[in-house]
Amino acid sequence: MPLITFKEMMEDAGRKGYAVGYFESWNLNSLEAVLEAAEETNSPVIIGFGCSVVSQEWLDRRGLDYLAVLGRAAARKSLVPVCYILNEIQTLEQMERGVRLGFNVVMMDTSGLEFKKNISVTRRAVRTAHAYGTAVEGELGKLPTAGGKEDSSAELTDPGQAEEFVRRTGVDALSVSIGNVHLLTEGKAQVDIERLKKIHEAVKVPFVIHGGTGFPDEAIPDAIRFGVRKFNVGTVMKKAYIDEIIKRTSGMEIDKLDIQAVVGSRKDEDVFTKAKNRVKDVVKGLIKKYGSAGQA
């Protein structure tokens, strides 16, 4: 199935009252897990890769080209509607390369920029991406990072600024900070649904929640009611992946293994296939929570 436009996907979610998951991949195993989960639940899905936690030297030298090829091939073979995002781009140059390589949604990491600079940079991104028919997710506010990593401070999205930001930039969706947290592995974030409601009253583009791993289940229905159409998830997937690998390899005696079966065979014995299936189960559970199962 060919890529569908981000606008089409968001409009369908809005009409039917569900949200779409962007389940961030990091390799072929995780990408397959996401697509298989979406197909098995008959759900639209957003596939893609992130730029914030990978080596920028690798990404700029060859990584972006590798990732783009993987995603395009996956989208062509998908049995459900797919959008393809390059997430949390660090530079305008990466953004333009991503657009040229076939991503049909891009999102720049502008969390460290002051308001006027954020508008300026985002407007440039929108102008370039829209020329190729590519959608742009903007960002206003700053999420804290769990575990004391990097700058853990938060800046919540201001409803008044959100209206101005969307009007002046022309973004197709807005990532909001309402208490959601990046890289949260334990517990749940304390989210401010009343703030989201006020942003929704001021702004009519679809909203995006980054830090989906720690977003509380009980807040999902209200978040969707007040404009959230996309949840970003990654940390819980990686945690499940590595946990399964550790479990499957603990106590292995390498001299006694059928190494060809255990690594890369894609058979039942392959530890990476086991890890992929564990990730798939996580994604399927989230798809059901977001209400997108059966909506393809």
The residue ranges of every structural domain in the chain are: 6-290
In the predicted model, what is the mean pLDDT of residues 6-11? Answer: 98
| The pLDDT value given to residue 147 | 64
N- to C-terminal Cα distance for the chain? 11
What residue has token string 């992946």? 241
Q: Which of 53, 47, 44, 54 is nearest to 22 (CA)?
A: 47
User: Which pLDDT value is given to residue 151?
Assistant: 52
- Residue with more model confidence, 61 or 3: 61
Residue 171: CB partners within 8 Å, gap ≥ 6?
122, 126, 136, 137, 138, 165, 205
pLDDT, tens digit, 9 for 90 and up, residues 209-250: 999 999 999 999 999 999 999 999 999 999 999 999 999 999
Quote the crossing angle between the two packed helices 159-169 and 115-131, to the nearest 10°. 40
- Gyration radius of the chain's alpha carbons: 19
User: Out of 4-8, 210-214, 249-253, which region has the weakest mean confidence (pLDDT)?
Assistant: 249-253
At 154 the pLDDT is: 81
CB 155 within 8 A of CB 120: no
Looking at residues 269-296, what average pLDDT do you find?
97
pLDDT at 152 over 70: no
Nearest-angstrom CA–CA distance, 65 and 88:
16
Beta bridge partners of 87: 50
Mean pLDDT of the chain: 95
d(Cα 162, Cα 88) in Å, to the nearest integer? 19
User: Which DSSP helix (H) or strand (E) runs through 235?
Assistant: helix 235-249
Query: Sorting pLDDT into bands at 50, 70 and 90, what band is 256?
Result: confident
Count CA within 13 A, CB hemisphere, residue 187: 8
CA distances from 282 to 2, 236, 255, 289 (A): 25, 8, 33, 11
Element (H, E) at 140: strand 135-140
In CATH terms, 6-290 corresponds, of 3.20.20.70, 3.40.50.2300, 3.30.470.10, 3.30.70.270, to 3.20.20.70
pLDDT at 148: 54
- What would the mean pLDDT of 11-22 be, rounded to a whole number? 98
Report the relative pairing of strands 135-140 and 105-108 from DSSP bridges: parallel
Q: What pLDDT is attached to residue 224?
A: 98
